[in-house]
Amino acid sequence: MNRFIIAATASMLATAAFADGHGGVTEEMLANDTASTGDVLTNGMGRHLQRHSPLEILNKENVKNLVPAWAFSLGGEKQRGQETQPIVHDGVMYITGSYSRMYAIDIKTGQELWQYDARLPEGILPCCDVVNRGAAIYGENIYFGTLDARIVALNQKTGDVVWNKKIADYKAGYSYTAAPLIVNGLIITGNSGGEFGIVGEVQARSAETGDIVWTRPVIEGHMGTLNGEESTMTGTLNATWPGDMWKTGGGATWLGGSYDADTDTLVFGTGNPAPWNSHLRNAGAPTEGNVGDNLYAASRLGIDPATGEIKWHYQTTPREGWDYDGVNEVVAYEDRSGNKRYATADRNGFFYVLNREDGAFVSAVPFVKDITWAEGIDDTGRPIFAEDNRPGDPSAAADGKKGEVVFSSPSFLGGKNWMPMAHSPKTGLFYVPSNEWGMDIWNEPITYKKGAAYLGSGFTIKPNYDDHIGSLKAIDPDTGETKWEFKNNAPLWGGVMTTAGGLVFTGTPEGEFIAFDDETGEQLWSFQTGSGVIGQPITWEQDGEQYVTVISGWGGAVPLWGGEVAKKVNYLNQGGLLWTFRLPAQLAAN
């Protein structure tokens, strides 16, 4: 056996023994999260990220009786966007808040037990608001990342720091906003900062000590590490990148990953290549083979959790030139024929189905209207580019300062951005929060400077339709058909959850938290939360009653980057309020 694999296996076994030896949350508990209805231990309500609960105490007939149980204010002046997904364990709820804060809350009363504030340094460079998307739990610790690109382990009972480790240099543009992932005693993290010429990477650490076990850069030419030694190069140097551009190639792994236990595979998405100006990356004209594709940016990667080696890759947007990050979540599921599949709704506007054994392309269909950058996806899974819709080369312009302006749809904020979709094994459908918008976009000259924005593009986002931007769609992955659609005036920016009771939950920037019929899309219940819902709902069972929780607090990328769209929603109020609802036992039969 390879000595790297032997060392990695020993490290994983020792780390896994940490949880078993100290009590608390174990690998077995994480693996059983979806079926265990009394808690929520993973981001995604299962590491496959289906965001589905088997609970059916709350259902289509009685959801009208869902009422507030308690609310918790994040307090102070630190508001902005609230995108967290709560974790629930042993009578305590853990949430993260904007500006890298964490709270422990009694789930019966809503009373704060402790609060941790990361005390961020001056000079942090978050791209898209000061958000945080949640925590991970293992052993007796709770873990979360901070905007200055660190990962922190806190004691679950006290909030005291157990360890605090640096992921990357925030002064170079790195940050961290995703919920970490725990697999076999390793805490797995990505990084943020794709607009600053950073290099995307996945890191695995011992959950007990925080020490790095392996690293895997996701841009060709960079070396991975295993137990402190160089392991293998990612890809082949200069195979798809010109000159030294791979050194600042982007590909941020900013949304984190999922874990497919059936194939023992981590699945991570990678962001846009840097800079946005594709002509500088030799991607401005048709190419031979994959030269100019800029691997492994705008891709999905299957990674060995023991060693960090890349098992497979699928690039959703080769020759990327519109900021169509490939980070959107990859959900493991079984189709109606029993085939093991992955599904992912890409920022580029296409909904993809991949094979779980090797990440091979199965199918792709548009899930938003008016896609302009490609005419479709061919039988190999490669886009059929609409070459006239690539932003122009500024070097070909008369003044050399601004390339030809084109209108592209979807906008760079994507047909779907970070907000997680949900799957229902009951209906077989995926429920995808999407947006119908486009942009005027053009390229500009740019050179890399550490810690400075590295775009080489300008843009203005515009709504595609007068009556809506947001669109929650129920998509059949077997046929590509949209079964129903809910249209919303403002962009949808929050997560979705399904239940065995036949319900689909999500929220709107206007503050409505809504339950839909999973088969018809009929609105069965709603509650006005007082601010925009861009968080991720969860549900659990307590004392025989079903509870639902979501955070309310408008913010995120839309107010910062949304152009004309941002002006359309500038009346929306910020907030920071965690709402928990319950179905009283005496009303469950009604």
Q: Confidence class of residue 19 from pLDDT cuts 50, 70 and 90?
A: low
Q: Confidence class of residue 285 from pLDDT cuts 50, 70 and 90?
A: very low
Q: Is 334 annotated as a binding residue?
A: no
Taking the C-alpha atoms of residue 522 and residue 237, their distance in angstroms, rounded to an integer, is 53
Taking the C-alpha atoms of residue 87 and residue 137, their distance in angstroms, rounded to an integer, is 8
Taking the C-alpha atoms of residue 432 and residue 328, their distance in angstroms, rounded to an integer, is 11
Closest CA to 103 of 138, 62, 154: 154
Work out the number of other CB atoms within 10 angstroms of the CB of residue 286. 9
Q: Residue 507 is part of a domain; what is its CATH number?
A: 2.140.10.10
Taking the C-alpha atoms of residue 159 and residue 556, their distance in angstroms, rounded to an integer, is 26
Residue 8 lies in a domain: no
How does strand 497-499 pair with strand 52-53? parallel
Q: Confidence class of residue 284 from pLDDT cuts 50, 70 and 90?
A: very low
Residues 2-11: tens digit of each pLDDT: 555 555 555 5
Once rounded to an integer, what is the mean pLDDT over residues 107-124?
95
Q: Confidence class of residue 569 from pLDDT cuts 50, 70 and 90?
A: confident
Three-state secondary structure call for residue 65:
helix
Residue 21 lies in a domain: no
Closest CA to 587 of 59, 53, 107: 59
DSSP per position, 299-343: EEEEE-TTT--EEEEEESSTT--S-----S--EEEE-TT--EEEE
Residue 28 has pLDDT above 70, yes or no: yes
Q: At residue 125, what is the residue type?
A: L
Residue 71: the pLDDT is 98
Work out the number of other CB atoms within 10 angstroms of the CB of residue 327. 31
Residue 563: the pLDDT is 84
Residue 4: the pLDDT is 52
Residue 12 has pLDDT above 80, yes or no: no
Residue 566 has pLDDT above 60, yes or no: yes
Taking the C-alpha atoms of residue 41 and residue 22, their distance in angstroms, rounded to an integer, is 17
Residues 516-551: tens digit of each pLDDT: 999 999 999 999 999 999 999 999 999 999 999 999
Q: Is 323 annotated as a binding residue?
A: yes
Residue 320: the pLDDT is 96
Q: At residue 18, what is the residue type?
A: F
Both tokens of 561, joined, read: 């980057």
Q: Which of 323, 325, 346, 518 is catalytic?
A: 323
Residue 270 lies in a domain: yes
Q: Confidence class of residue 121 from pLDDT cuts 50, 70 and 90?
A: very high
Residue 505 has pLDDT above 60, yes or no: yes
| Backbone angles phi and psi of 383, in degrees to 5 | -65, 145
Residue 127: the pLDDT is 86
Active site residue 323: yes
Q: Is 43 annotated as a binding residue?
A: no
Q: Is 84 annotated as a binding residue?
A: no
Three-state secondary structure call for residue 427:
coil
Residue 401 lies in a domain: yes
Q: Is the dihedral of CA 324, 219, 153, 267 positive or negative?
A: positive
Contact call for residues 245 and 200 (beta carbons, < 8 A): no
Once rounded to an integer, what is the mean pLDDT over residues 475-498?
97
DSSP per position, 500-538: TTSEEEEE-TTSEEEEEETTT--EEEEEE-SS---S--E
- Per this entry, what is the length of the chain? 590
Residue 588: the pLDDT is 85
Residue 107: the pLDDT is 97
- How far apart, in Å, are the Cα atoms of 82 and each of 130, 153, 566? 9, 21, 17
How many domains, in total, are found in the chain? Answer: 1
Taking the C-alpha atoms of residue 216 and residue 304, their distance in angstroms, rounded to an integer, is 10
Three-state secondary structure call for residue 269:
strand
Residue 22 lies in a domain: no
Taking the C-alpha atoms of residue 260 and residue 334, their distance in angstroms, rounded to an integer, is 12
H or E stretch including 9? helix 3-22
Residue 1: the pLDDT is 45
Residue 321 lies in a domain: yes
CA angle 585, 588, 589 (to 5 degrees): 125
- Four-point Cα dihedral 389, 394, 395, 398, nearest 10: 110
Taking the C-alpha atoms of residue 480 and residue 435, their distance in angstroms, rounded to an integer, is 18
Residue 223: the pLDDT is 98
Residue 562 has pLDDT above 80, yes or no: yes
**If 0-12 CB within 10 Å is exposed, 13-18 middle and 19+ buried, where does residue 1 land?**
exposed
The whole domain housing 36 covers 27-587
Taking the C-alpha atoms of residue 202 and residue 167, their distance in angstroms, rounded to an integer, is 10
Helices (DSSP H) in 333-419: which residue ranges? none
Q: Is 59 annotated as a binding residue?
A: no
Residue 349 lies in a domain: yes
- Rounded to the nearest integer, the mean pLDDT of the chain is 94
Residue 7: the pLDDT is 52
What is the Cα 292 distance to its own chain's centre? 26
Residue 315 lies in a domain: yes
Q: Is 195 annotated as a binding residue?
A: yes
CA angle 328, 334, 339 (to 5 degrees): 115
Residue 188 has pLDDT above 50, yes or no: yes
Three-state secondary structure call for residue 170:
helix
Residue 9: the pLDDT is 56
Q: Is 293 annotated as a binding residue?
A: no
Residue 361: the pLDDT is 98
Q: Is 272 annotated as a binding residue?
A: yes
Residue 399: the pLDDT is 85
Residues 357-407: tens digit of each pLDDT: 999 999 999 999 999 999 999 999 999 999 999 999 999 888 888 999 999
